[in-house]
Amino acid sequence: MSQILDADLIARFRSIRLLSLDLDGTLTDGGLYYADDGSELRKFFVQDGFGILLVKEAGIEVCLITMSDTPAIQKRIDRLKIRFGHMGVRDKLPKLQAICAELGIGLDQVCHVADDLNDLDVMQAVGLPVAVANARPQVKAAAAYVTGALGGHGAVREVCDLLLEYKV
């Protein structure tokens, strides 16, 4: 963990019913690899994926909302059995609001983990905005918690562990 949590932050972690994730730079290191056929490749961190599975088993729903749209991302969504996996989304907040409405929860019960400016409106709307360690400065400024781990290198697992530690 990158910081000692105060009582307010612990209360925020306890209230979470939905873990919302960005993809590039959050679940990956943000690097894109191109194969000779032009397809994009990304590297995912296994411990992040296992953390997602643990959080889901504990009863916290997970969603992934990304602007990217590739078969590899769909494969990761399928492998982790993420019920709310949405690709090709430019305006993420309305999609997150629709997911919350379907689940019958408020945005105050959402933890969103991100790294870049396209997630700022979501970060400002949710109850627990989290920035990965290598996020843009504006995203860190909007965060209630900044991970000690880098995106694609355990940041999501760090958040999952905290959600599990403070789950009521």
Q: Are 129 and 93 in contact (CB under 8 A)?
A: no
The pLDDT value recorded for residue 3 is 67
- The half-sphere exposure of 61 on its side-chain side, counting CA atoms within 13 A, is 15
**DSSP code per residue over 23-85:** -TTTTB-S--EE-TTS-EE--B-HHHHHHHHHHHHTT-EEEEE-S---HHHHHHHHHTT-SEE
pLDDT category at 141 given cuts 50, 70, 90 is very high
The pLDDT value recorded for residue 167 is 87
pLDDT at residue 168 above 80? Answer: no
Helix (H) or strand (E) run with residue 109 in it = none
Least confident of 1-15, 115-129, 135-149, 150-164: 1-15
- Spatial distance between the Cα atoms of 52 and 78, rounded to a whole number of angstroms: 13
Q: Which residues contact 25 (CB under 8 A, 6 or more apart)?
A: 114, 115, 116, 132, 134, 135, 151, 152
pLDDT at residue 2 above 70? Answer: no
- Spatial distance between the Cα atoms of 65 and 92, rounded to a whole number of angstroms: 7
The pLDDT value recorded for residue 106 is 98
| pLDDT tens digits for range 7-18 | 999 999 999 999
Helices within 104-142 (DSSP H only): 120-125, 137-142
Structure tokens at 104: 């019958």
Domain 7-166: assigned CATH number = 3.40.50.1000
Q: Please state the domain extents for the chain.
A: 7-166
